[in-house]
Amino acid sequence: MKTLLLATLATCLGLSVFAVAQNSPSQAPQKDQASATSQLTTISGTIKGEGDKLTFVSDTDQKAWTVDNPETLKGHEGHHVQVKAQVNAEKASIHVAEVKMLTPSDSYKNDVK
C-alpha cells in the first residue's frame, strides 16, 4: 500500500513539473511598442499656440506635433526651443519631459552640424 501511495505521489509531482515547464516562456519577452516609443528624443523646433492647444513644429521636416502635456510649454509660444520628449508617431504627438530655449547662436550651431 505504501508503495502504491509513493508511486502515485511521484507521478503527480512529475506531471506537475512537466505542466509548469510547458507554460514557461522559452524566449525572453519582447518589448511592446509602447515601451519602444518611451525613449526620450531630442528635437528642436518652434512652439505654435492656438488658444489652449499648443503645437510643436520641428525644424528638420516642418512636421507639426500635438503636445500631450501643453502645461510644460506654457509661455514658450512663438519661441525656438529644444525639447526632450517621448514621440508617438502613430498619433503625431509628443510628451515633453524637458524644454530648453535656443539662442540664435545655438540655432546656427545646429544648422552647421
pLDDT computed for residue 2 by the predictor: 82
* DSSP 8-state assignment for residue 91: T
- How far apart, in Å, are the Cα atoms of 41 and each of 6, 10, 14, 36, 45? 62, 56, 51, 12, 13
Question: Which class does domain 40-112 fall in?
Answer: mainly beta
Domain-wise residue ranges, the chain: 40-112
pLDDT tens by residue, 48-85:
988 778 899 999 999 999 999 999 998 899 999 999 99
pLDDT computed for residue 85 by the predictor: 94
pTM beyond 0.85: no
pLDDT tens by residue, 15-41:
676 666 666 555 444 444 444 446 899
pLDDT computed for residue 23 by the predictor: 60
